[in-house]
Structure formats: C-alpha cells, structure tokens
Structure 1
Amino acid sequence: MSTDSAPVETGVKAATDLPELETLILETLEDDKAENIVAIDLGGKSSIADTMVIASGRSARHVNALADHVVRKLKEEGHGRAQVEGMSSADWVLIDAGDVVVHIFRPEVRDFYQLERIWSGSAHITDAN
C-alpha cells in the first residue's frame, strides 16, 4: 500500500492501523490490480461489520477474478466462511467476510451507487492505495 497519497479523511482507516483480515483483503485486491480501493471504518455506524472495503475492477471479468481471488485467499488463510453474492453477473460482487464486508464493482456501477458517500458521511474519500 502506498502511503504517498493525500491525507486520509475521517472514516477511512490508516494502513498502519489495519487488522489482519482487512490487511489480507486489501493486499489481495492491490496485488490483483483492483482500482480505487477504499476502506471505510464502520465503527459506530453499523453492527454488520467493522470495515467496508470498496474497489473497482476494469470489466465484469476483472471484477469476477478479483472476487474469486479474495475468496480463495480468505479460505487459504482460515477465513473460509465468507458469503458471496453477485458472481454470476459480476457488475457488483459482495463478499461478507464477517468483520469486513467487501464490495467490488465495475466503475460505472460504483459511480451509480456511490457507497463511499453513503457510508462515510463525506463528499469525497481518499483511496487506501
């Protein structure tokens, strides 16, 4: 993860503060060339998870491959109970890994839903890359 990006805004965790599961997911997405990776701290906002990770793939095929690699990596590292939705269309894949929920989108679908804006409470989020 690059630390030379703009300062991280409220609601987004710094790379040095990340739990193991979140780090595993972020590194896997980064290694597979996911774009615009963002981690949003859900503490105090929701009981569904501690962190939401949002990333984009360049195409449906890339979204599918990113999601598949994250799920495989989770299983390899002993986090094999992840639930996955949306792999068949690969426009938006949701991976519920317990403490971390991952959304992987095609760019135009991500732009339409704007989850970062909804969950962060701010108008702009700085990438976790």
Structure 2
Amino acid sequence: MKTPDLKTICCEALDDLKAQNILVLDIQDISGFADWFIIATASSSRNAKAISNKLIESLKLQNQHLVGVEGQDDSEWILVDCGDVVVNIMQQETREFYDLESLWGEKTLVSV
C-alpha cells in the first residue's frame, strides 16, 4: 500500500470536516518556504478549530512533521505549517479580505 503524500493527507483531512472551497497552489518554483499552499474556508470559528484539530490529528497519525500552528485562539484564520505544505483555514470574510489566491497567481492553482 502506497503511503499518501503530505498534500493528500492535508486535503483529505480538510474535506473530511467539510472545509469549503479548498484550493491547492503549487508554489515550488516561486517560494523558498514551502512547495504547496492550501487555502480552505470554514463556516465558523468552531468549524475552523475543528478542521485544524482534525488536520493536526491526521498528520500525527501519518507520522508527519508539524512545524507549528497559529491562530487557533480566535479561529478567523488558522495557519498550519507542515513544512513543505502550508495550510490556511479561514472564515469567509477573512478569506475575501486577504484574497491570498490572487496574491500567488492563477498559474499556481492545482485542481483538487
């Protein structure tokens, strides 16, 4: 059985708790800090926290390294740094305000 890669583990965990509008950006050629940048929308602060906890649990179960987690206190924007993959779990209003998708460019978008 093939072990799932880090990006797949993250996307499946996000999908399991119904994160919305999951986008995967391939930033390997334009970034020195990560290879993949994932953005997902949570329906509420409680949902954002649950999604991030599920993601962290999934990473630990797969023996993946977790660099750090930021933003779980207010849960408007939770960043989970997995090293090669950086996951952003954002409430809709926050996601619209920061518009990270346009910051990285359409060429980086990968279908999930």
TM-score (norm 2): 0.90
- Counterpart secondary structure, 2:106: coil
Which amino acid is 1:118 matched to? Answer: L
Q: Kindly tell me: are residues 126 and 107 of structure 1, through their superposed partners in 2, closer, same or farther at Cα, counting changes over 3 Å? A: farther
d(CA) in 2 for partners of 1:115, 1:127: 16
**Quick check: 1:54 aligned with 2:39?**
yes
Q: How many residues align?
A: 108
Which of 33, 45, 48 is 2:18 aligned to?
33
- Counterpart secondary structure, 1:116: helix
Structure 1 spans left out of the alignment, 5+ residues: 1-18
**% of aligned pairs identical?**
38
Shift of 1:80: 3.9
Matched ranges for 1:66-105 at <5 A: 66-105=51-90
d(CA) in 2 for partners of 1:43, 1:83: 20
Superposed CA offset, 1:27-75 (max 9, x none):
1111110000000000111011000000001001000100011011101
TM-score (norm 1): 0.78
Tell me which protein shows more strand as a share of its residues.
Answer: 2
**Any runs of at least 4 consecutive aligned residues in structure 1 with deviations exceeding 4 A, and if so which?**
none
Q: What is the RMSD computed on CA atoms of the aligned residues?
A: 1.7
